[in-house]
Amino acid sequence: MATRNISLDDEAYSRLKKLKSEGESFSDVVKNVTSEKSWLEVAGIWENETEEIREAVEEGRQRSRGRSDRIAEKLSDEE
């Protein structure tokens, strides 16, 4: 396999090194970082968080309804 030499400043090297796992080459890291992921792969990332996200959204909706109810009650009391 042909190889190329590239230059990186210290910050770029440090960032790349943080992404590198033991036994993985820098070439592997660059390929992983620059690969295009399919939407199915991206969706799989969130698979385990789906229920937590759903619960957080519902809690936010309930808080919003509560605020709306309190505001409506205050407005009706002022009339």
CB of 29 within 8 A of CB of 16? yes
Domain boundaries, the chain: 50-78
Of 32, 36, 29, 35, the residue nearest 13 (C-alpha)? 29
User: Which pLDDT score is estimated for 60?
Assistant: 95
For residue 64, how far is the Cα from the chain centroid? 25
Mean pLDDT over residues 49-60, rounded? Answer: 88
User: Higher pLDDT residue, 20 or 41?
Assistant: 20
**How far apart (Å, rounded) are the C-alpha atoms in residues 31 and 52?**
32
- Give this prediction's pTM: 0.45
